[in-house]
Amino acid sequence: MPKGTRRKPPEKTAGGREDALQQLTAALSMVADDANVWMSILDREGRVVLWNRAAARISGYGEEEIVGRKIAWDLLYPDASYRETLKARTADIVERSASLDGFETTIRCRDESYRIVSWNERALTDAEGAAIGSLAFGFDVTERRQAEAEVQHRAELASLTHKVAHLVSSEMEDLAKLFPAIVESVSAVFSGYGVSLLLIDEDRGALVLESTAGRGTAATPAGYRVPMGMGLTGRAATTGETQVSGNVDAACHYIREAETNTRSELAVPMRSGSEVIGVLDLQSSALDAFDAVETAAIETLCIHIGAAISQARLLEEATGQAQRAAIINRIARAVGSTLDMGELMGIVYEGIVAALEAEAVYITRLDEEAQQLIVLLGIEGDVRDEGSRIPLGAGFSSHVVNTKRPLRIDDIQQQRDALPEPVAWGDTSRPYTSWLGVPMMIGDRVIGTIATMVGRVAAYGEKEEQLLATIADQVAVALENARLFEEQSGQAERLAVVNRVAKAVGSRLGLDDLLQTVYDEIAPMFENEALYITRVDEAAQEIEFLFGVEDGERLVPDRVPLGEGLTSHIVTTGRPLHIHHFEKEIHDVPVPRMWGNVKLHDSWLGVPMLVGDRTVGTIATMIDRPHAYSDEQEQLLCTIADQVAVALENARLFGEMQRRADQMTLVNDIGGSISALLDLDDLLDRAVHLIQELFGFDHVAYLAADPDGESLVMRVRVGSLAGLLPLGYRIPLGKGLVGQAGAEKKTLCVSDVQSDSRYVNPVGTEVHTRAELDVPVCVGDRLLGVLDIQSAAAHAFDKNDVMVMETLADQLAVAIENARLYEDAQRELSERQRAESALGEERTLLRTIIDNVPDFIYAKDLESRFTVANRAIAGLVGAASPEDLLGKTDADYHPADMAAGYRADEERVLESGEPILGREEPVVIQVTGEKGWLLTSKMPLLDPQGQVVGIVGIGRDISERKRNDEKLQRYVAEIEEANEEIKQFAYIVSHDLRAPLVNLKGFASELRGSMDAMAPAVEAALAQLPEEGRSEIEAAVREDIPESLGFIESSVARMDGFINAVLKLSRIGRRELRFEEVDPNEVVAGAVAALAHQIEEEGVEVEIDALPTLTADRTSVEQIFGNLLTNAVNYLVPSRPGRIQVGGRQDEHGWTFWVRDNGRGISHEDADKVFAPFRRAGRQNVPGEGMGLSYVRTIVRQHKGRIWFDSEDGSGTTFYFAVPASLGQDKEP
């Protein structure tokens, strides 16, 4: 078959099969990956014997540099211990005929990249079974493993954030444990990376390394400092933006600290609220080690860690404050319960040491008359001092006394020039660095100092100062008590009161009880008609009336704004207000404000409650009698007020601490319970409900940022407004408080929405909202949503609430991001699984199709080794299963000459890249040993780069068809031979028959000549004959002999006619045809003209259609039409006018012509004889030999055509003949 024929659309073949084949061919190219099998053979010494092109392509090492040498091991496995392990395995295979399947190793390729290869390894044995080497098939699974590792890594990332979230919630109380745990967790997921966690130090000058793990981190110890702004880490801390570099040597901010091999670095800032507090830093020795997903995951982690750190710090602080509160409480109790100075000082000293880590403590009392400070207690190491006197003047303590203000020194040596001259006393050889001293005050009078010092820079801050001041106040009260006790024994009763108050303050933390006690103690002494105790709410700028009694009736607590009025005056001035006679002094005092139905009393005494110089409340007593209170009473009330102040402050601190600790616990609970939820809806729902329930807010909602970036959408809400705000309710960013918080990504806390112009009532109807707190929920710079909290009470949210909710918002952001990451990871995993299973199904489908197609389908590598084989071909070569063929070649199965032929074809396909299509080739079916034939197509197999990597072959067993073809050929030959014999026979017979005829005719003529010569003599002789018998002889001579001769001659003539007819027929059959364009119109016209005489005479009507020109032998066409027309004219019937019609048509197959007459027709019985030689049908009234239609049929057959007729006896006949179109094109005679 000529090349290219098969490429035509297969309209003639069975279309479905062909399509299936083409599809298979296309599908097979997908299997190309699997065809890339590494094959190598090592001999016993480890020398490479065989190294195929796949091996060369995967490893990069060409056959020429590997084969025959032992270097393959060293090249592929540079690590010696790894190499020895693998060598041992191969040795095991060779020595013990073990085998290896799917064993994966990592090889180093020529380009120094690493690839993972999955090995199947077998021992090779010689004929005796002795091991001679090993054969390895390798599948390059690098991409597959990388993809798996990638998926694994993503899942690990998702679980990492989860794990860290868990760590954060479980380890938050101990940062010292938390940091290493986080770093270890990150390091476990990012194996091969160095992970460091650094925190910004207090003065924000540097990052301090807290914890490290992983590669190359041993060199940098904890505490290592990185200046802010320096390197990628410092830059991340300064800018608050993630710093990532795929190639640190090219990054302008990278600073190579030591000889590290870091190539990629990722530094992510950690935040507490909006403040950067540290950096998580990852380093890798690979280039471009961090992708966007990993970066995002680490950023999420950092949000988590940041939230954890800020929480932990808050907790630490809260714990510290609670401790201090307890110390103060203990001191207060001691002050209240003991008048023994020594014991009191001991307690104070212990408290100070515990709270301030003091190395030295001095408590002094001012002796105003002597202008000296008396050391009440001085402890410095083992040295104890009591009673020393220090002249007032220079020195830190004198400075405190003079200024009446605390003095805090961070570094005595550094600040020497700016400090007052220190006074050496006691053992001053100790190098104290930090010094803190506070005055002890009664009213505005300094009565002494307390100082503490330590050998550490900047050991004391604001908090320590406050604490010491509070302690000082306590001690001052105690000292004053003692003084009063000593100086004014007459005032014992008052002192007892003070003492009782102090005791109450020390023993009761319930504020109400305390105040009642205070009242009970004060009332008899001051004989008052009304008494008020207030507290200052600095945040709200209000005065809170905690306790009020008027004419023995308790008043309901209330709040009034800080402003004018008597109490406000005291608060503002921090000094007592004593009105002796109201009416007289009315113009000199502030305008009083009414509380309840308070009437104006003549005497009014109010004193501030001071903590340090801060007024925390007031106590006022009044009576309807002028000049009711003395100065002593004023002083007494001041003392009591100080006591109460301490109690109030204690209660406030304690309450606040308690609340804060509770809140932190709640925050932690919420964080813990939501961080475990991975479903976003559950998570939000849970979070909002928890916040509402645990904090008791009126309304809590979460509005998610819409992807359009322009609005917030209500996702979850709970509380009093839930019914008014439908889910899906939208608020444009920037509108209202919620919208503004979202747009600016800043927390908004409004104490009273009714006086805030930004507030928008979302529902129109009246809502009870007074205070609103809106906290944006962000991941880095990205807004996720807004947490909206509303309260029906104004001033419902304080700084602490804001901080707690911000912490929660951070937690929530982390949890949301977690859920999202988890969903992403899940989705990606399931997509990948789906893709993989689809690929698997496709392969199974393909395999099933391939295996069940009766055709032989296979693919081979460049060396013609099978890489794919189906069951059909396994059956052909006699293999048990298709797998047996893999790696083998045709030479393993077929006779050498055939295999060589196949290989030659395949080499040609591989070299030229041109397929061989539809090649018929011999084959031996190995199972039966029968010879057969294959119809084979071999096509080049291309890899994705278009490189020829093998061939794909499809073969079909056409033995049966071939056998039939051969049989057919034989039959045709036999028939042709027989035909030829017949022709020869006719010819010979007709010639040989002629020879005797010549004699018959010749000698008959001779006889007649002899008779003529004898005639005169015979006539004469006859006359001589006797009468009797003469007539008989006469008859013989004159009639019988001539008659006999006549019959002989006429018979010979007829015989000659037959012979000539047969001869003519046989000659027609052998005549060479000359094909040309013949116009049958011309031919028919000629034939009609030849019959013109007869036609005219008999009045025949001849109708000739326009006939199509045909390709044929002109003479033949003339003879056909001539005969048919002659017949038509001859066999007309006289009874009706003759009508002859000639027609013809052309179609794709050829031409058909017909000659139709209305003559006598052909009877059914005669139908068989019509085309037989010497046969004439019907009445023989027409001259002829009966050969015409025989000739015509022979001629038509010579044209590969067909002749037939339709006829009805008596009504006419139509003769048709058809000539195929392909004649004359291919020159088959």
Partner 1 sequence: MSCDNEITILLVEDDPGHARLIEKNLKRSNITNCFHAVTDGQQALDYLFSEGEYAGRDLPSPLLVLLDLNMPVVDGYQVLERMKADARIKHVPVVILTTTDDAREVSRCYELGCNVYITKPVDYEKFTEAIRKLGLFLSIVTVPDGE
**What is the binding site for partner 1 (CB under 8 A)?**
987, 991-992, 994-999, 1001-1006, 1052-1053, 1056, 1067
Q: Please answer whether residues 327 and 354 qualify as being in contact, where contact means their C-beta atoms are separated by less than 8 angstroms.
A: yes
Q: Measured from the CB of residue 980, what is the shortest distance to partner 1 in angstroms?
A: 14
- The residues, ordered by sequence, that sit 6+ positions from 416 with a Cβ below 8 Å of its Cβ are none
CA distance 1111 to 1107: 13
Instruction: Compute the Cα dihedral for 393, 398, 400, 401 and give only its sign.
Output: negative
CA 392 to chain centre: 78
Both tokens of 90, joined, read 């191969």
Q: Closest CB to partner 1 among 943 and 1056?
A: 1056
Q: CA–CA distance from 613 to each of 321, 352, 363, 609, 723 (Å)?
A: 20, 21, 20, 10, 50
Contact 468, 450 (CB under 8 A): yes
Cβ closest to partner 1, residue 903 vs residue 1064? 1064
Nearer to partner 1, 824 or 1056 (CB): 1056
Which of residues 848 and 984 has its CB atom nearest to partner 1 in the complex? 984
Tell the smallest beta-carbon distance from residue 995 to partner 1 (Å).
5
Q: Which is nearer to partner 1, 854 or 1009 (CB)?
A: 1009
Q: Rounded to the nearest whole angstrom, what is the least distance from the CB of residue 1052 to partner 1 in the complex?
A: 7
Contact between 745 and 782 (Cβ < 8 Å)? no
| Closer to partner 1 by Cβ: residue 972 or 1053 | 1053
Shortest distance in whole angstroms from residue 1117 CB to partner 1: 22
Tell me phi and psi for residue 558, to 5 degrees: -155, 170
CB of 1045 to partner 1, least distance (A): 11
Q: How far is the CB of 1001 from partner 1 (least distance, A)?
A: 5
Mapped onto helix, strand or coil, the DSSP state of residue 121 is strand
Cα angle: 1028, vertex 1032, 1035; to 5 degrees = 140
The distance of closest approach from Cβ of residue 1174 to partner 1 in the complex, given in angstroms and rounded to an integer, is 18
Alpha carbon 70 to chain centroid, angstroms: 44
Nearest C-alpha neighbor of 859 from the set 849, 869, 844: 869
Name the minimum Å distance from CB 914 to partner 1.
49
Rounded to an integer, what distance in angstroms lies between the CA atom of residue 189 and that of residue 542? 55
Using the minimum distance from each CB to partner 1, give the nearer residue, 968 or 1053: 1053
Least separation, in Å, of the C-beta of 1063 and partner 1?
8
Q: Is the dihedral of CA 913, 918, 923, 926 positive or negative?
A: positive
Q: How wide is the angle at C-alpha 751 spanned by C-alphas 746 and 756, nearest 5°?
A: 80
| Comparison of 219 and 998: residue with beta carbon closer to partner 1 | 998
Alpha-carbon Rg for the chain, nearest whole angstrom, is 62
Q: How far is the CB of 1149 from partner 1 (least distance, A)?
A: 34
Q: Which residue has the tokens 């112009």?
A: 757
Residue whose CB is less far from partner 1, 246 or 1069: 1069
Structure tokens at 158: 């998702």
Q: What count of Cα atoms within 13 Å lies in the side-chain half-sphere of residue 502?
A: 31
In the complex with partner 1, the residue whose CB is nearer, 594 or 1014, is 1014
Whether the CB-CB separation of 234 and 226 falls below 8 Å is answered with: yes
Beta carbon of residue 1044, minimum distance to partner 1 (angstroms, whole number)? 16
Give the residue ranges of DSSP H helices in 603-630: none
Q: Which is nearer to partner 1, 371 or 984 (CB)?
A: 984
Name the minimum Å distance from CB 991 to partner 1.
Answer: 5
Question: Cα–Cα distances in Å, from 247 out to 38, 190, 251, 732?
Answer: 34, 18, 7, 43
**E strands of 630-742, at which residues?**
699-705, 711-719, 730-732
- If the CB atoms of residues 947 and 1005 are measured against partner 1, the closer one turns out to be 1005
971 versus 1047: smaller Cβ distance to partner 1: 1047
The sign of the dihedral angle between the CA atoms of 1091, 1093, 1094, 1100 is positive
HEC string of 174-192 equals CHHHHHHHHHHHHHHHCCC
Phi, psi of 155 (to 5 degrees): -65, -40
Bridge-partner residues for 1153, per DSSP?
1144, 1217
Work out how close the CB of 989 gets to partner 1 at its nearest, in angstroms, rounded to a whole number. Answer: 12
To the nearest whole angstrom, how small is the minimum distance from the Cβ of residue 1103 to partner 1?
39
Work out how close the CB of 1130 gets to partner 1 at its nearest, in angstroms, rounded to a whole number: 27
Between the alpha carbon of residue 201 and those of residues 206, 212, 223, the distances in Å are 6, 17, 10
Neighbours of 990 (CB within 10 A): 20
For the CA atoms of 585, 591, 597, 599, the dihedral, rounded to the nearest 10 degrees, stands at 0
Q: Which is nearer to partner 1, 998 or 1015 (CB)?
A: 998
* Closest of 478, 485, 450, 482 to residue 642, by C-alpha: 478
Closest alpha carbon to 606 in 557, 656, 645, 641: 641
Least distance from partner 1 to the Cβ atom of residue 20, Å:
56
- The answer to whether 910 and 894 have CB atoms below 8 angstroms apart is no
Cα gap 816→304, rounded to integer Å:
11
**Smallest distance from partner 1 to CB 1061, Å:** 13
